[in-house]
A and B are shown apart, each in its own frame.
Chain A
Amino acid sequence: MSELKQFKLPDVGEGLTEADIVKWHVQPGDKVTINQIIVEIETAKAVVELPSPYEGVVAGLLVPEGTTADVGTPIISVEVGPDAGITTPPAPRGSTSADLVPPPPPESPSPSPSPSSSPAEGGTEPGIEGTLTPKEDERHAVLVGYGVKAGSTARRPRKAAAGSGAAAALAGSRPAVLAKPPVRKLARDLGVDLTLLSGTGPGGSNTRDDVQSAVRGLETAGPAAAEGPAPAAPNRFAPVTAVAREERIPIRGVRKHMAAAMVGSAFSAPHVTEFLQIDMTETMAATARLRTLPEFSEIRVSPLLLVARALMVAVARHPMINSSWDEDAQEIVVKHYVNLGIAAATERGLVVPNVKDAHALSLPGLGRALAELAETARAGQATPADLRGGTITITNVGVFGVDTGTPILTPGEAAILAFGRVKDAPWVHQGQLAVRKVTTLGLSFDHRIVDGELGSAVLRDIGAMLEDPLRMLAWS
């Protein structure tokens, strides 16, 4: 029995991809022995004679003379096997000579292709149909790994979980989400979707704090409304009984954040606090009159509104008070806008949301903004944006029923005004003893930026405006 073997065109010279068939030295029906020259090919580099890898009978010439074939194309088929020809190749005659190639062994007929047979060789392959088929897995004389492989144009299929984890991302591209890589990891670890945050970092990127604030927002179960000042986490003094004598409250969330901010502020900026006791009577009257105006009918007007306005007028007169110390850049950054922070005590602790561009708001607008701010803060819904970017702060300690305090600067700011309670007190008014509405203003400032003269001037100005609100108008 025989089998049909095909010889595929090899790469004969380091990377050739094709060759021209120049001349066949055999024709179908010829017997061939191993290493007998069967064809001449021409490559980009050379004309080369190819020896037969098989012994048997030529079944068909698969590429006609004069055509170009790619490396790897079958060019000849040879029927091999006991029926097909000689089993052992004879020693090539002239093995001791300097001949490069052996002459054909005497047993096989000398092939000389006749002109009429050449053109027909390409198409007709007698004997192949029906009886003989090449084996699937036979080793072809093709340069596997030699020459230039064509290179695949399709992917090989991979197993299901190929470790790429990219299935989800295949459905088109997501919008760009800017975040430092570590922030991404934090977001992923905490289950925060960065695409839902508005970043407060450089270029609008999301920062670690943005992510953590979002987490805090997630943790808030619902509005935790509290009327008036919410006490700090209560210290319960346990009676001396069998009940635990100490209680441990984990430091986390807003408290943790605020504590860190306070420590940072207190121990980097040298704080100086100055006090000024003033007669608030005129301001209190003005406040009452404002409430009657239609522009303020929907707004809760409190003395804080005028204190805020006075502060901003003072800032306009003394811009340096509205600045921050940039240690890294070794610069003092004077802000020409006021993001007015109002310290608010909430159930979860102290937060300082700010009103953006408060200096540009009308008085009713400012009133509305302050009211909203207070509401949002009390409800625990201040956003990270609300909490960032403040330039100066008022802390309303009066609601706690104290006269004043030595407030700690909001980090990144140069001054904070403590507004204490307004009480009836004896005062020298127009040379006479009288009962007037009196309050004590306390102004803490960053002594690196603000010297005594400036701090005093600001405090004096605020005091002057609150003693006579008309000054706010004159100085605007």
Chain B
Amino acid sequence: MAVNDAGRATSADSSRGGGQPESAEFIQLLTPEGERIEHPDYPLEISAEEIRGLYRDLVLVRRIDFEAIALQRQGELGLWASLLGQEAAQIGSGRALKPADMAFPTYREHGVAWCRGLDPTRLLELFRGVSNGGWDPAAHNFHLYTIVIGSQTLHATGYAMGIQRDGAVGGENGEAVIAYFGDGATSQGDVNEAFIWASVTNAPIVFFCQNNQWAISAPLERQSRVPLYLRAPGFGFPGVRVDGNDVLACLAVTRKAMQAARDGQGPTMIEAFTYRMGAHTTTDDPTRYRLAAELETWKLKDPIERVKAYLIRNELADESFFTELDAEAAELGARIRKACLEMPDPGPLAIFDNVYAEPNALLEAERDQYAAYLESFEEAVR
């Protein structure tokens, strides 16, 4: 980022177009070609088995995403928000979480859901239109998807304030919160308010921003003239930028930030510099606003390819590993397809369920009226 004498940005951060960002702060532990590099602030002890495990995570998550897009194109899902290209950011950060940590996703964190142990078929309900959620947040410490941009960052901050009041900060069993959001979300008032609150309360929270360069058709420079991670110091806590396509770097950086939060050192912002390889959602057409050349550049930085290259070059995985994994991916795809096709529709009176915790006479009356109305037809609906 070019800055003039007064400290003002003289051009938008144009690092999106390809190559490294201009700023030196970009944590990377695995190059796009699959070479391991070290960073003094982020030592990473990791076994071959663990790396193979990460690779498996990446492959399977991509397969889930692929299958879901196809299902949408076949009319079995109303919508899907693809994470294509962002697998490493999500698997890396997701695997840095401890079971007691709480994660607040947006609506694209299918990789984090995977890491939390949520069965991927549960993700389908929301996109199929069977419910507006799909799982119990407490079951896997993974909150429901939040579609209103940025709202969840305040929820995450409040949850973190609750952890403080429960005395669960510090010590061996410290807990922390990770809040996911995108580059576009950083323009929303709620997100900025969350930063303020987290800062002044020293909340145990990591703000994980997946900067995938685009908010539908709005490029990053629509949202900011400075790299996003540099926002954090303005609010009073550290910000760090990591190569969002590097699963090892994401793992290492998130681990450190989460531990700092658990230890009571307060919030950190992590900007995972990545790219939205697909469309915003299946209703979007990116060919209308971005160039194919950009896509091609980012293909060379694919998060999965670099791990595969590393495994092969270092002889940490053999042919059978890859073949078995492909088969597992195909099975997973088929299982997701089956679950989707067999998903039962809720009955019409389900509209009235779960709206209130306490009895509500007005709603009961409406339910009865509608039930009677449905009964009044010669043939039942659907």
Contacts and interface: CB of A to CB of B under 8 A. Distances in A.
Query: Are chains A and B touching in the complex at the 8 Å CB cutoff?
Result: yes
Which of B75, B330, B382 counts the most A-chain CB atoms under 10 A from its CB? B75
B276 to A, nearest CB: 12
Contact of A98 (B74, B79, B299): B299
Contacts of A175: none
Which of A13, A90, A102 counts the most B-chain CB atoms under 10 A from its CB? A13
A23 to B, nearest CB: 15
Contact of B75 (A14, A35, A142): A142
Contacts of A47: 285, 287
A327 B163 CA distance: 71
B74 A10 contact: yes
Contacts of B304: 96-98
Contact of A156 (B302, B305, B379): B379
A7 interface: yes
Contacts of A91: 326-327, 329-330
B341 to A, nearest CB: 7
Contacts of A97: 299, 302, 304-305
Contact of A96 (B284, B305, B334): B305
Contacts of B298: 98
B221 interface: no
A13 B282 contact: yes
Given A13-B283, A97-B302, A98-B302, A159 B73 contact: no
Contact of A49 (B73, B75, B76, B302): B73
Interface in A3-56: 7-8, 10-14, 34-35, 45-53
Given A98-B305, A162-B376, A34 B337 contact: yes
Given A48-B73, A50-B74, A12 B282 contact: yes
A80 to B, nearest CB: 14
B377 A156 contact: yes
A8 B308 contact: no
Contacts of B326: 91, 95
B247 to A, nearest CB: 13
B330 A146 contact: no
Interface string A392-423: 00000000000000000000000000000000
B66 interface: yes
A3 to B, nearest CB: 16
B263 interface: no
Contacts of A34: 70, 337
Contact of B67 (A35, A49, A139): A35
Contacts of B285: 45-48
A106 to B, nearest CB: 14
Contact of B334 (A51, A89, A95, A141): A89
Interface in B365-382: 372, 375-379, 382
A157 interface: yes
A222 to B, nearest CB: 48
B376 A163 contact: yes
B74 A7 contact: yes
A451 B159 CA distance: 84
A295 B215 CA distance: 103
B59 interface: yes
Contacts of A144: 382
Given A47-B285, A156-B377, A146 B75 contact: yes
A92 interface: yes
A159 B288 CA distance: 52
Interface of B (DSSP majority class): helix
Contacts of B74: 7, 10, 50-53, 141
Contacts of B62: 95-96
B63 interface: yes
Nearest to A9: B75
A279 B165 CA distance: 108
A158 interface: yes
B7 to A, nearest CB: 38
A51 B283 contact: no
Contacts of B76: 53, 141
A145 interface: yes
B72 A12 contact: yes
B129 interface: yes
B282 A157 contact: no
Contacts of A8: 75
B78 A146 contact: yes
B283 A159 contact: no
Contacts of A49: 73
Nearest to B284: A46
Contacts of B73: 10, 12, 48-51
A142 to B, nearest CB: 6
A350 B304 CA distance: 105
Nearest to B282: A12
A473 interface: no
A333 interface: no
B367 to A, nearest CB: 17
Contact of A158 (B283, B337, B376): B376
B324 to A, nearest CB: 11
Contact of B372 (A11, A88, A95, A163): A163
B302 A45 contact: no
Contacts of A92: 66
A146 B304 CA distance: 34
Interface string A60-99: 0000000000000000000000000000111110011110
Which of B63, B277, B278, B285 counts the most A-chain CB atoms under 10 A from its CB? B285
A25 to B, nearest CB: 13
Which 4 A-B residue pairings sit nearest by Cβ, starting from the closest?
Answer: A46-B285, A10-B75, A13-B283, A53-B74
Given A45-B283, A50-B73, A91-B329, 13 more contacts: A14-B79, A34-B337, A35-B67, A51-B74, A52-B74, A53-B75, A95-B59, A96-B62, A97-B304, A143-B78, A146-B78, A157-B379, A163-B372
14 contacts: A8-B75, A47-B287, A48-B285, A52-B74, A88-B330, A91-B326, A98-B277, A98-B305, A100-B277, A141-B75, A143-B78, A145-B78, A157-B379, A159-B377
Interface of A: 7-8, 10-14, 34-35, 45-53, 88-92, 95-98, 100, 102, 139, 141-146, 156-159, 162-163
